[in-house]
Structure 1
Amino acid sequence: MNIRIEQLQEQDATTLFEFECNNRDFFERIIASRGNDYYVYENYEQILKELIAEQTRGESYFHLIKDDSNKIIGRVNLVNIDKINRTGEVGYRIGEEYGGRGIATKALSLMLKETEYYGVDELRAMVTHHNPASQHVLSKNNFVKLHTDKNAIEFNGEKYDLVHFKWRRT
């Protein structure tokens, strides 16, 4: 499947909201919920405006993963950018029906190519130990495992280890 990443824009509000709502149950099985308010469109529009303002300031860069038909199938984001140290954090999520097809691996690879433009030379990522697919995505994109924090987060009443990764431009 051919994919591309596009920087988030205000005109994406409706289709991105639909993507998030359609995948809410799936995402909440693997990561913490964003809460009910996130899924109220008026609130979502305000959140989106704040994200775009953050993007305009160069603090974060939010991207939509789209297929050939222009459908949103996931997201990949650079956040917590430190312009002085040229570092940031990366995160991604793929819609339930698109998992297991290598889309996250491709999207992250595309994002890594953008990091030079964004002035970022080093990225960090954190993944729960119960998400080996996401760890595999990072490894395939030359992220190196740094360490694991035992019982670092609580999710749905259970404690999970948090695995830390790092990527550096060579």
Structure 2
Amino acid sequence: MEITIEKLRYEDAEELFDFECENRWYFEKMVPSRGDEYYDFDTFMMNHKKLLDEQKQGLSYFYLIKKTTGEILGRINFVDVDESRHLGFLGYRVGGKHTGQGIANKALRMLLENMKENGFTKVLAMTTDHNVASQKVLEKNGFKKLETSDDDFIMHGETVKFVKYAWVME
């Protein structure tokens, strides 16, 4: 499947809200919930505007992963940017019906290329120890496992720990 990553825009709000609502059940199996308020359209719009402001200030970069036809397949973000240290933190999610198709892998490759072109040399990422698919995507793209957190938390009745990764441009 051919995909693109496109910077988040104000006009994406309604389609993105629908995507998030449609995939809530799937995302919350892998990561802690964003809470019920996130799925209220007015609250979503306030958050959407905050993200766009953050992007405009160069503090974070938010992208939508899309089919070439324009359908949203997921999101990939480069946040908490520290330009003086040429680094930032990665986050991504692909909708439930689009997993297992290499979309996260392709989108991450595109994002890393974009970040290299913009002078970034280090990307940090974190996933949970039970999200093996996410770990594989990171490792396929050259991320190295740094550590598994000593701290754990309960998610859906399971004890979970965060696993930290880093990608450094060679």
TM-score bin, normalised by smaller chain: over 0.9
Give how far 1:107 is off: 0.3
2:121 maps to 121
Percentage of matched positions with identical amino acids: 42
For residue 84 of structure 2, give the secondary structure of its aligned residue in structure 1.
coil
Mapped to 2, the partners of 1:145 and 1:163 lie a distance apart of 7
1:64 maps to 64
Mapped to 2, the partners of 1:29 and 1:75 lie a distance apart of 17
2:164 maps to 164
Give how far 1:163 is off: 1.1
Post-superposition Cα deviations, 1:72-97, rounded to whole Å, max 9, x if no partner, equal: 00000001111111111101100000
Mapped to 2, the partners of 1:140 and 1:11 lie a distance apart of 33
Unaligned segments of structure 1, at least 5 residues: none
For residue 37 of structure 2, give the secondary structure of its aligned residue in structure 1.
helix
Mapped to 1, the partners of 2:109 and 2:150 lie a distance apart of 29
For residue 100 of structure 1, give the secondary structure of its aligned residue in structure 2.
coil
TM-score by length of 1: 0.96
Mapped to 2, the partners of 1:146 and 1:153 lie a distance apart of 19
Letter in 1 for 2:21: C
TM-score by length of 2: 0.96
Q: CA RMSD in A?
A: 1.1
Mapped to 1, the partners of 2:44 and 2:76 lie a distance apart of 18
Mapped to 2, the partners of 1:64 and 1:52 lie a distance apart of 13
Number of residues paired by the alignment? 170
Counterparts of residues 41-120 of structure 1 (less than 5 Å): 41-120=41-120
Mapped to 2, the partners of 1:118 and 1:46 lie a distance apart of 28
Mapped to 2, the partners of 1:81 and 1:152 lie a distance apart of 26
Letter in 1 for 2:74: G
